[in-house]
Chains A and B, each alone.
Chain A
Amino acid sequence: MAVTQLPCVPHPEHAVTSDTYLNLYAGMEDKIELENFECYQTMTEEERKTFDDFLKSVQSPVHEGKFTAIVPDKFTVLRFLQADQYDTTKAMTRLESNQEWLRQVNIPGLLQNPPKMLNVYRKLRSRSCMGRTQDGMPIFVERLGDFSMFYAFFVLHWTTRRNIVLNMSAFSLSFLPHN
């Protein structure tokens, strides 16, 4: 019988780096095979051909100039292609806009200097990784109603505090890096 319970803390070998924010398996490429993924096994011949051609076009020298932030690997290319139902034009547009986002956000800088509100946010929310589904997916559970508004009121700056009542969106935005 498959084990469906799991530890909540990721293995130290799988620590997240800045590259992971695009390439989920950054640093693990040598150890993993695309053929083991269920989404690859269930692809049709036509979809595989589209994927192979698209992968070549992404990694070809013509596009090298476009992917300067983080170069997408084959797993990422497949993920983006499947998200756009194998529409290569849409997938390429999404990959390009993602590169722009990666440049704007500056993930390495963000990991080195985490936003000062991040720790506060982690103390206010209630989230857990419960186990795995029968399909092997990790299950995250979040109690949105437990978000400690009452305590948030005491630990946050008054401008943020005001937004708890007046403007929930601005309250959420206050946790983002630029604040």
Chain B
Amino acid sequence: MGGLLGTLRDSYDYNLQNKQPVTWKATWIMDTKNVGFYRASRATGTLQLLDALTEPNFPEIAGPIFIIQVPHLVSGVWRICQAFLDPAVAAKITVDSGLPTKELLKHMDEDVLFEELGGTNRTVEFPKAEYT
């Protein structure tokens, strides 16, 4: 959480200098490639816990959330669930079973998006987990 808050604090000066809108929100891309259905289903409690922690205590810092490379089944279930969600929340979350490069490029420049997600960014290394 500290890293996220620090980066959001950085945003003020950074965006003002670069004549970008100043905001306290962040965008998230969650790549679920290689997450099995069993592991995902066992993680429901974790998601509820995270929601219970962030929603009341850190409001309004989540911008658009892209959950990508999800199994087709999850993508289908999401489409149904969307109807029951708060429209503001549903509009924020994009769930895609593939790589939604076109959708991502509506929000960010091509030289920002990592190459593996369909962009041209090779300057920032996507770190592997240390224990790999």
> B6, A140: Cβ atoms under 8 Å?
no
B59 touches A97 (CB 8 A): no
In the complex, the answer to whether A141 meets B31 with C-beta atoms within 8 Å is: yes
B51 sits at the interface (CB 8 A): no
- A/B pair count, beta carbons within 8 Å: 220
A1-13 interface code vs B (CB 8 A; 1 in, 0 out): 0111110101100
Q: Which secondary structure dominates where chain A touches chain B?
A: mixed
CB within 8 Å of B: which A59-85 residues: 75, 79-80, 82-84
Is B33 engaged at the interface, CB distance under 8 Å to the other chain? yes
Q: Does B74 contact A (CB under 8 A)?
A: no
A111 and B5 alpha carbons, distance in the complex (Å): 14
Q: Within residues 118 to 143 of chain A, which ones have a CB less than 8 A from any CB in chain B? A: 122-143
> CA A135 – CA B109 in complex, angstroms?
11
What residues of B have a CB within 8 angstroms of the CB of A147 in the complex? 129
Question: How close is A113's CB to chain B, nearest CB, in angstroms?
Answer: 14
Contact of B18 among A3, A36, A37 (CB under 8 A): A3
Q: Which of A16, A127, A141 is the one whose CB lies under 8 Å from B6? A: A16
A94 CB–B CB distance under 8 Å: yes
- Is the beta-carbon distance between B132 and A5 smaller than 8 angstroms? no
Top 4 A-B residue pairs of the complex, sorted by shortest distance between their CB atoms: A169-B45, A145-B34, A10-B6, A83-B59
Other A-B pairs, 13, CB within 8 Å; known A128-B127, A140-B26, A146-B128: A16-B9, A20-B9, A21-B5, A38-B22, A84-B59, A128-B125, A130-B113, A130-B114, A132-B108, A145-B34, A147-B129, A148-B129, A152-B131
